[in-house]
C-alpha cells in the first residue's frame, strides 16, 4: 500500500479504538437499539481494517453483507420482538458474571501472549499481490475452491428456506376438507403461548 | 506490506480483544438478540485474524481472503436462521429473556 506509515498508524489506531469501544457498547448498553447501531459501526470499522490490509473486495463484501443485510435483519428482529419487560433478578447471575469475566481475561492474556511471543515468518513484501487481490479471489473461487463455493450456495438456499419455514405463521384461507373459509381467530389462538409456564 | 508497516501483532491483538468481548457478551446477555450480536462479533474477530495472516504471511495466494468470504456467507445464513428461531421462540414464550428458555435444562 502506498500510504505513509504514519497515516496507516493513525487510521489503524482510530479503527481499533472504534472496534473495541463499539463492541463494549454492544454488549454493555441497556438499550438494545443502540447496541444494534453500534454493531453497524463496528462492522464498518472492520471493513476499514480490511482496506488497510489491501483487501478492497472483502471490505466491500463486509459492508454489503454485514451492514446491509445482517445488521438490518437484527434491527428488524428487535422491532418484531420489541417488548419492554422487567427481567426477573436471578441470584446466580452475579457469580456467573464474575466467573465469566475471569475466564475472558485469562483467555485474552493467553491469546495476547501467543500473539506477542510467536515469531511469525512474514512473507517477502515483493511477492505481495496488492491491488490484484480481487482477480486472485475470482481465480480461487472458480478453481481450487469451486466445491466450497457451490456448497455455500446450497447452504444459502437452505438457510433461506429454513428461515421462511421457521418464522412464518400458519395462515390458511380455506379449510382443506370442506373448502369453507377458516376463522382466522382460531389459528391465532392455537398459535399463542404454548410453552408458557403456568404459575 | 513493507517492513516498516503496522506490525501483524497489532491486528492479532485487536482481534483477540474483539473475540473475548464477544465471548463475554455471549455468556452474560439476557436478551436473545444480544446473544446473536455477540456471535457476530466473534465471527468478525476470526475474520480479522484470517485477513491479517493472509496479508502478512500468504500475500501472494491470499487464501485467507477466500476463507473470509466463506465465513461471511456462513455468518449471513446463521443470522437469518438464528433470528427466525428467535421469532418463533418469542411467539411461543412471549419473552426474549435467555433465563426463561430452560426447557432442555438438565
CB of B71 within 8 Å of a chain A CB? The answer is: no
Residue A127 lies in a domain: no
- Residue A171 CA to residue B104 CA, distance in Å, equals 29
- Residue A149 CA to residue A160 CA, distance in Å, equals 17
Tell me the sheet residues that pair with A181.
A174
Residue A193 lies in a domain: yes
Q: Tell me what pLDDT residue A199 has.
A: 45
How far A112 CA sits from the closest chain B CA (Å)? 6
Q: Do A81 and B9 touch (CB under 8 A)?
A: no
Q: Do B25 and A122 touch (CB under 8 A)?
A: no
**Closest alpha carbon within chain B to A137:** B66
3-class state of residue A120 by DSSP? coil
Q: Which 8-state DSSP code applies to residue A174?
A: B
Residue A187 lies in a domain: yes
- Residue A82 CA to residue B95 CA, distance in Å, equals 9
- Residue B81 CA to residue A74 CA, distance in Å, equals 12
Q: Which of A137, A6, A47 is nearest to B54 (CA)?
A: A137
Residue A139 lies in a domain: no
Q: What cell does A124 get?
A: 517477502
Q: How far is CA A182 from CA A174, A188, B15, B23, B73, in A?
A: 5, 11, 54, 47, 40
Q: What cell does A176 get?
A: 382443506
Q: Tell me what pLDDT residue B95 has.
A: 83
Q: pLDDT 10s digit of each residue in chain B, 106 long?
A: 445 688 999 999 999 999 999 999 999 998 999 999 999 999 999 999 999 999 999 888 899 999 999 999 999 999 999 999 998 888 888 888 888 888 887 7
Q: How many residues would you count in chain B?
A: 106
Q: Domain limits at A195?
A: 173-199
Q: Tell me what pLDDT residue B1 has.
A: 47
Encode pLDDT of B36-55 as tens digits: 999 999 999 999 999 999 99
A 124-183 residues with CB < 8 A to B: 125, 127-129, 133, 136-137, 140-141, 145, 148, 152, 155-156, 158-160, 162-164, 166-167, 169
Residue A28 lies in a domain: no
Q: Nearest 5°: phi and psi at A59?
A: -65, -40
Best A26, A63, A127 member to test B by mutation, with max B CBs in 10 Å, is A26
Which residues contact residue A198 at a Cβ distance below 8 angstroms, ignoring those fewer than 6 apart? none
Q: Which 8-state DSSP code applies to residue B31?
A: B
Predicted TM-score (pTM) of this structure:
0.87
Residue A190 lies in a domain: yes
pLDDT along chain A (199 residues), means of 10: 84 96 95 94 96 93 95 92 78 91 96 92 82 90 95 95 84 68 63 52
Residue A192 lies in a domain: yes
Residue A197 lies in a domain: yes
Q: How many domains does chain A have?
A: 1
Q: Tell me what pLDDT residue A183 has.
A: 65
Q: Do A125 and B59 touch (CB under 8 A)?
A: yes
- Residue A171 CA to residue A164 CA, distance in Å, equals 13
Kindly list the residues from chain A whose CB atom is less than 8 angstroms away from the CB atom of residue B6. 5, 8-9, 12, 52
CB of B68 within 8 Å of a chain A CB? The answer is: yes
- How confident is the prediction for chain B on average, in pLDDT? 90
Q: Do B94 and A36 touch (CB under 8 A)?
A: no
Q: What cell does B53 get?
A: 495472516
- In B29-98, where does DSSP find H-type helix? 32-56, 63-93
Q: Do B21 and A196 touch (CB under 8 A)?
A: no
**Closest alpha carbon within chain A to B35:** A27
**Closest alpha carbon within chain B to A123:** B57
3-class state of residue A2 by DSSP? coil
Amino acid at each position: 500500500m502506498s500510504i505513509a506509515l504514519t497515516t496507516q498508524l493513525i487510521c489503524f489506531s482510530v479503527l481499533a479504538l472504534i472496534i473495541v469501544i463499539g463492541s463494549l457498547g454492544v454488549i454493555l448498553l441497556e438499550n438494545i437499539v443502540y447496541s444494534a447501531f453500534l454493531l453497524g459501526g463496528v462492522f464498518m470499522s472492520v471493513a476499514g481494517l480490511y482496506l488497510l490490509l489491501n483487501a478492497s473486495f472483502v471490505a466491500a463484501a463486509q459492508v454489503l453483507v454485514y451492514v446491509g443485510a445482517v445488521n438490518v435483519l437484527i434491527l428488524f428482529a428487535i422491532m418484531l420482538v420489541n417488548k419492554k419487560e422487567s427481567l426477573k433478578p436471578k441470584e446466580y447471575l452475579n457469580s456467573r458474571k464474575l466467573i465469566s469475566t475471569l475466564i475472558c481475561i485469562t483467555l485474552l492474556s493467553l491469546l495476547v501472549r501467543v500473539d506477542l511471543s510467536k515469531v511469525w515468518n512474514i512473507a517477502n513484501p515483493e511477492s505481495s499481490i496488492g491491488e490484484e487481490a480481487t482477480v486472485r479471489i475470482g481465480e480461487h473461487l472458480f478453481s481450487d475452491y469451486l466445491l466450497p463455493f457451490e456448497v455455500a450456495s446450497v447452504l444459502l438456499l437452505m438457510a433461506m428456506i429454513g428461515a421462511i419455514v421457521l418464522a412464518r405463521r400458519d395462515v390458511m384461507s380455506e379449510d382443506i376438507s370442506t373448502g369453507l373459509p377458516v376463522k382466522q381467530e382460531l389459528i391465532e389462538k392455537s398459535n399463542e403461548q404454548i410453552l408458557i409456564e403456568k404459575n | 506490506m513493507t517492513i516498516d508497516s503496522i506490525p501483524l501483532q497489532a491486528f492479532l491483538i485487536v482481534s483477540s480483544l474483539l473475540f473475548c468481548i464477544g465471548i463475554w457478551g455471549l455468556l452474560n446477555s439476557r436478551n436473545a438478540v444480544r446473544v446473536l450480536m455477540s456471535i457476530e462479533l466473534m465471527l468478525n474477530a476470526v475474520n480479522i485474524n484470517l485477513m491479517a495472516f493472509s496479508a502478512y504471511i500468504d500475500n501472494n495466494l491470499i487464501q485467507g481472503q477466500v476463507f473470509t468470504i466463506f465465513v461471511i456467507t456462513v455468518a449471513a445464513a446463521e443470522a437469518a436462521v438464528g433470528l427466525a428461531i428467535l421469532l418463533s421462540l418469542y411467539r411461543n414464550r412471549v419473552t426474549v429473556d435467555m433465563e426463561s428458555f430452560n426447557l432442555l435444562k438438565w
